[in-house]
Amino acid sequence: MHNDDDLILRLTSEQTKDSAFKELLSLYKERLYWHVRKIVISHDDADDVLQETFIKIYRNIHNFKGESKLFSWMYRIATNEALTHLKKNANLKNNSSPELHEHTINNLQADVYFEGNEIQLKLQKAIATLPEKQKLVFNMRYFDDIKYSDMSEILDTSEGALKATYHIAVKKVEEYLTTH
């Protein structure tokens, strides 16, 4: 198991910060990318958000107080960045966030960076119908297998509430897949 404390120590010291940051990137960039990608859907948006996320992490690592796991802290930053990005995009296009999301999902078939089969596409469409929080919880649990205890730190919600949210989300997704 990787030692967070040691990495944080090196990240907060000026001499070792850059090399430690490289290590942090190689450890977490892919996981964070996939987390963000499932929220914002398009690769270009995910790339923007991932860069912003790591810039924030680089600048604010000295503020990390170790109250949660480093990984939860970074996931929280990435989640917030992704949601803010969606809202910003929607505002730019004078559109509501859910509407724009639906539009993006409908264009998914034409996306060169989506190679899902018919059922994967249908699943993405089903997920798109969920409210924001359910969408997050479903993605994190279904695809990434994130533990409820970690998710609770990331989303600042009790484990019980998260389990209930996931249960409702699965029911809705199954319902969508059955009727479409």
Partner 1 sequence: MKKSHLHNIKNSGFKTPDGYFDAFDERLLKKLNVKKEMASISDSGFKVPDNYFETFDDKLQARLKNENSSTKVIKLNPWRKVAYLSGVAASIALLLTFLLNSKGQLTINQIETASIENYLIDQNLNAYDIASFLNEEDLIVDNFVSSSLTEESLENYLINNTSIEDLIIGK
Q: What is d(CA 166, CA 164) in angstroms, rounded to the nearest whole number?
A: 5
Task: Write the interaction track for partner 1 spanning residues 150-179; mark x where CB under 8 A is met and - where it is not.
Answer: -----------------------xx--xx-
Asked if residue 26 binds partner 1 (CB under 8 A), the reply is yes
Q: Are 104 and 159 in contact (CB under 8 A)?
A: no
Task: Write the interaction track for partner 1 spanning residues 80-119; mark x where CB under 8 A is met and - where it is not.
Answer: ---------------------------------xxxxx-x
Q: Report the run of H or E that residue 180 belongs to, with start and end.
A: none
Cβ proximity to partner 1, 67 vs 115, nearer residue = 115
**Phi then psi dihedrals of residue 144, to 5 deg:** -100, -10
Chain residues in the site for partner 1 (CB under 8 A): 22, 25-26, 29-30, 33-34, 37-38, 41, 43, 47, 50-51, 54-55, 58, 113-117, 119-121, 123-124, 139, 143, 173-174, 177-178
